Chain A
Amino acid sequence: MLDIFMLISLIILSLASIGLLYRVVKGPGVTDRVMALDAIGINLMAITAIMCIMMNTDAFLDIILVIGILAFVGTVAFSKFLERGEVIERDRNR
């Protein structure tokens, strides 16, 4: 019974990722694309967790945390690039 639940949620998450991919391709601005990619990363974390349950192993639980950290760092870097024009600024006091 748990397998059926897991299959249903995998299908739902795949449909959600496809819809977000449409927003990535067609989004009117850059920021829409960045937000949609962030949400795709979150969906990927959910898919990894569900695969962990389906395969009955705890080997992939690190991957969830790593994907979360990478998605956050990528979004922050891209928003700083959009706002200031560069990601790592030069130190002017030196």
Chain B
Amino acid sequence: MIEIGKFIVGVLIVLGSLLSILTTVGMLRFPDTYTRGHAASKSATLGIMLILIGTALYFWITEGYISGKVILGIVFILMTTPVASHLITRASYNNGVALWKGSVRDDLEKKYKQQKKQ
């Protein structure tokens, strides 16, 4: 029973690290800041959540106690990483970082011009 649990833990952690390297591939290959932010927030969040779920499961299986700190870390990461990505992407838009040439619509542009006129 413990061996099956350890196998599940190993699979969870390898899946999380594969999602983490998917983040790196996205950061290296996407053309502009906004798509890179898209890659950096979602897959990194899911990857670290899988790894921390595996850690909590490991300590629950082998030692027999549920670690509140790890569960708190999972909830904290789930709440804060998208917020941080949103803030840094909005800062780059307000600094005038250009979109990729192939992007077709920019909904914020009209609103931004209206704000400048006022």
Contacts and interface: CB of A to CB of B under 8 A. Distances in A.
Interface of A: 1-2, 5-6, 8-10, 12-13, 15-17, 19-20, 22-23, 29, 31-32, 34-36, 38-39, 42-43, 45-46, 49-50, 52-53, 56, 58, 61-62, 64-65, 68-69, 71-72, 75-76, 78-80, 82-83
Given A35-B27, A58-B63, A61-B67, A5 B40 contact: no
B27 A69 contact: no
Interface string B23-45: 11101100001001100100011
Nearest to A46: B51
B27 A49 contact: no
Interface residues of B, number: 54
Interface of B: 6-7, 9-11, 13-14, 16-18, 20-21, 23-25, 27-28, 33, 36-37, 40, 44-45, 47-48, 51-52, 54-55, 58-59, 62-63, 67, 69-70, 72-73, 76-77, 80-81, 83-85, 87-92, 94-95, 97
The 3 closest A-B pairs by CB, nearest first: A5-B10, A19-B24, A9-B17
B85 A65 contact: no
A31 B97 contact: yes
B1 to A, nearest CB: 15
Given A9-B14, A62-B69, A31 B24 contact: no
A12 B77 contact: no
A2 B57 CA distance: 13
A1 B24 contact: no
A76 B6 CA distance: 37
A82 B51 contact: no
Given A42-B81, A78-B88, A23 B27 contact: yes
